[in-house]
Amino acid sequence: MNETQIDYRVALAGNPNVGKSTIFNALTGLHQHTGNWTGKTVSLATGFFSADNRRIELTDLPGTYSMTAFSEEENVTRLFLESAQADCAVIVIDSNVIERNLSYVLEVLSLQSKAVLCLNMSDEAEKKGMHINAEKLSAMLGIPVIKTCAVKKTGVKELKKMILSVCDGTRVCMTEQKHEIASNHGAAAYLLSQRSKAICEACVTCSSPKKNAGRLDKILTSKLTGIPLMLLLFLLLFWLTAVGANYPSEWLGMLFGKVKEWLSLLFEWMNAPAFLTGLLIDGVYTTLSWVVSVMLPPMAIFFPLFALLEDSGYLPRIAFNLDAVFARCGAHGKQSLTMAMGLGCNACGVTGCRIIESPQERTIAILTNNMMPCNGRFPILIAMILMFFAHASFGLAASVQAALLMVLLLMLSVLLTLGMSKLLSLTIVRGAPSGFALELPPYRKPQVLKTIGRSLLDRALFVLGRAVIVAAPAGAVIWLCANIDIGGQSVLKICTDFFDPFGRFIGLDGVVVMAFLLGFPANETVIPIMLMAYLSSGVMTDYSGYGELLSLLTSNGWTWVTAVCMCVMTVLHFPCSTTCLTIKKETGSIKWTLLAAAIPTALGIMLCALIAAVSRFLA
């Protein structure tokens, strides 16, 4: 078989949450790549598999609920099927909710008559007492039907053979719905619904009624218990992330510190110039080590836990619970999910905005995602709270007070995000709000090991890789600024003096302003840059404890007002370079990228200036 020759092209279509991606992976294995369809911003995954010495290209179309082309994803899916690029379409549906998915099947058949229906999760349906007559269903639809369980790879071989038989004409499809649906646009939804119901009644029987149906949803989506339980769950998630990341971060820091000693000895043995040693070790390596040691542990904990919630079917319930609140602010209920993702990493939160169908609401979610503090900013916030505000009093331990203050700070972030979303929906991102047609998938037992592995590779390491790429040159720039003198002063000192009047106007100083600017590639470097400037060491310095850091800050004029303004600006300032690159990629627009940086920064400056003015008035 010629590896470059493609014998047939197949499209993979289906609703979200039906296991379509798992089917795609089971068919193609590692022979796949992702890219944008010509002229579109939506990415399509393409893979290859062989059947009977024929090479078949499989394109995974975006998961959509219909072919009405309201969203960019729906538009791409419809255009791809209409373009007749595919010799066959594989339509994946969830056997547990077959009636609801059959309307989508009929819509696809109105565009692509040669198809194979994949009844995924058929084992779950059988456990619930649902019996699907695949032969009768095939006869009524006019296309072959294959039962699969993608997770266990059951039925995958049969699916490959059937795809080939449809493509080469061995199995002839006898669909009759194409002209019926296409010629009745006004009554399409009604026709599809009635047709789906009739097919389901004829082909599906239940041997036993569902027990305890909806009992869990009555608790998790209740107006009384839904949101409190969600808050408790996310508090547990964040607590596990914060506590669990401390030790790995410390171990990584110690490991990188030891490697730094070895590198220094190596450069000394090589008689390397002091300038080169400082640039590469004190600049590039030190910055990279801090970024990795601070970012990797939280992401390695948060992303897998978040993915387990996603695979269990709980995340759509969260969006359902919060949709009313977000709708009042001109936003979408799914923005709650992208905000939660932003707490791990804003770049991932921005990428996650793809789940929002409406272009206007997706743009709002992208522009405001940075107002949720990511794991790179949490160390700054924790340091400020523990040093200036959390002290054992009122019968509460300092750690408990710090946790409560952090929760309040996160609640403030949420309120500011909602307020800004409302303002944007009324001004520069105006548009009709979308309907919230969200399918609540059945609860499932997550595949723990596979989910953890996928989230580590696809999210944690991907985001870390982007951060490392921008942090390496940033470390060199920061070191150069601190070690190049002009008129007896370093470039860093000249810049901090220049920004000092503005910094003090907003309750900070020039050192903090410059630290935020130089910390653009990675928020983790903000405090080390401050220490380097305050100590005038020319080398980014880590701190051994909060007591030592507090003494240094107070000796340089810091007060509780400075700490409050520092917390505000930490939450509300421009996104890091990784997030900015992601925003540009997702929106395809420099304008939206600049606005995403300007909006939180302007709001942060105004709040800090107000806090500073009030403190000066009351002093």
Q: Are 408 and 392 in contact (CB under 8 A)?
A: no
Q: Are residues 250 and 114 in the same domain?
A: no
8-state DSSP, 281? I
Give residue 521's pLDDT: 80
Q: Are residues 290 and 528 in contact, defined by beta-carbon separation less than 8 angstroms?
A: yes
Distance of alpha carbon 509 from alpha carbon 504, whole angstroms: 5
From 131, 135, 151, select the one nearest 143 (Cα to Cα): 135
Note whether residue 213 is domain-resident. Answer: no
Q: Tell me, what's the pLDDT at 274? A: 86
Asked which of 402-416, 449-463, 494-508, 511-525 is least confident by mean pLDDT, the reply is: 449-463
Q: What pLDDT, in 10s, does the model give residues 166-207?
A: 998 888 877 654 434 443 444 556 677 788 888 888 888 877
Contact between 10 and 89 under an 8 Å Cβ cutoff? The reply is yes
Q: Has residue 479 got a pLDDT over 90?
A: no
Do 260 and 406 lie in one domain? The reply is yes
Q: Does residue 218 lie within any of the structural domains?
A: no
Looking at the chain, the whole-number percentage of residues with pLDDT higher than 90 is 19
Task: Check which CATH number belongs to the domain holding 95 and give it.
Answer: 3.40.50.300
In a domain, 211, yes or no: no
Mean per-residue pLDDT, 135-141: 90
CA 13 to chain centre: 23
Q: Where are the alpha helices (DSSP H) in 313-394?
A: 315-328, 335-344, 346-352, 359-368, 378-388
E strand or H helix that includes residue 313 = none
Q: What pLDDT, on the 0 to 100 scale, is given for residue 115?
A: 92
* Cβ within 8 Å of residue 129, ≥6 positions away: 206, 207, 208, 209, 210
Statement to judge: residues 501 and 359 lie in one domain: yes
Amino acid at 164: L
Judged by phi (left if over 0) then psi (alpha if -120 to 50, else beta), residue 371 lies in: alpha
Q: Which residue has the higher pLDDT, 196 or 451?
A: 196
* Cα within 13 Å of Cα(384), Cβ side: 24
pLDDT score at 143: 92
Residue 34's pLDDT band (cuts 50, 70, 90)? very low
How confident is the model at residue 400, as a pLDDT?
64
Does residue 335 belong to any structural domain of this protein? Answer: yes
User: How far apart are alpha carbons 374 and 393 in whole angstroms?
Assistant: 29
pLDDT at residue 38, as a whole number: 42
For residue 250 the two structure tokens come to 């410390």
- Residue 195, SS3? helix
Pairing of strands 145-147, 204-206: unpaired
pLDDT interval class at 36 (50, 70, 90): very low
Lowest mean pLDDT among 33-37, 404-408, 535-539: 33-37
- Whether 472 has a pLDDT exceeding 90, the answer reads no
Total residue count of the chain as it appears in this document: 619
Same domain, 311 and 190: no
Tell me, yes or no, whether 120 and 242 share the same domain: no
Q: Are 390 and 398 in contact (CB under 8 A)?
A: yes
Residue 448, pLDDT score:
75
Q: Which of 200, 195, 205, 203 is nearest to 134 (CA)?
A: 203
Q: What is the pLDDT of residue 196?
A: 85
Domain ranges, residue 569? 226-430+449-618
- Asked whether residue 310 is domain-assigned, the answer is yes
Where does the pLDDT of residue 615 fall: very low under 50, low under 70, confident under 90, or very high at 90 and above?
very high
Predicted pLDDT of residue 180: 45
How many C-beta neighbours within 10 Å does residue 547 have?
10
Round to whole Å and give the CA distance between 242 and 402.
12
Determine the pLDDT at residue 566.
94
Mean pLDDT to the nearest integer, 317-329: 79
In whole angstroms, what is the distance from residue 154 CA to residue 170 CA?
Answer: 23
Q: Are 354 and 363 in contact (CB under 8 A)?
A: no
Average pLDDT, the chain: 80
Domain count, the chain: 2
Q: If you average pLDDT over residues 225-250, what whole number do you get? A: 75
396 Cβ contact list (under 8 Å, min separation 6): 404
- The secondary structure element, H or E, covering residue 268 is helix 226-269
Token pair in block for residue 44 = 């399509």
Residues 457 and 580 in one domain: yes
Instruction: Report H helices in 372-524.
Output: 378-388, 398-426, 448-455, 461-483, 491-505, 510-518
Do 23 and 105 have their domain in common?
A: yes
Percent of the chain with pLDDT over 70: 80
- Angle 156-167/20-28 helices, nearest 10 degrees? 80
Separation CA 223–CA 321 (nearest Å): 7
pLDDT for residue 430: 72
Q: Tell me if 436 is assigned to some domain.
A: no
* Whole-angstrom distance, CA of residue 513 vs CA of residue 441: 47
pLDDT score of 457 more than 50? yes
Q: How confident is the model at residue 69 (pLDDT cuts 50, 70, 90)?
A: low
Q: How distant, in Å, are the alpha carbons of 99, 214, 505, 547, 569 from that of 206? A: 13, 17, 71, 67, 58
Last residue of a domain, one of 152, 174, 206: 206
**533 and 466, same structural domain?**
yes
Burial of 162 (0-12, 13-18, 19+ CB in 10 A): buried
Residue 220 domain-assigned (yes or no): no
Closest CA to 500 of 515, 485, 489: 515
**Rounded mean pLDDT, 2-25:** 82
Does residue 439 lie within any of the structural domains? no
Region 494-522: mean pLDDT is 91
* CA dihedral sign of residues 272, 277, 281, 283: negative
- Confidence band, pLDDT 50/70/90 cuts, at residue 338: confident
Question: Nearest CA to 109 among 165, 174, 168, 159?
Answer: 174
Q: What's residue 459's pLDDT? A: 61
Same domain as 181, residue 237? no
DSSP-derived secondary structure for 260-299: HHHHHHHHHHTT--HHHHIIIIIIIIHHHHHHHHHHHHHH
Residue 251 and residue 378 in one domain: yes
pLDDT given at position 605: 95
Task: Identify the residue with better confidence: 169 or 313.
Answer: 169
Phi, psi of 280 (to 5 degrees): -80, -40
Q: Determine the pLDDT at residue 570.
A: 93
With CA atoms as reference, report the closest residue to 292 among 459, 525, 519. Answer: 525
d(CA 483, CA 274): 11
**Average pLDDT, integer, range 324-351:** 80
pLDDT value at position 128?
77
At residue 11, the pLDDT reads 92
Based on the domain organization, do 195 and 294 belong to the same domain?
no
* Between 372 and 438, residue with greater pLDDT: 372
Q: Assess whether 119 and 250 both reside in one domain.
A: no
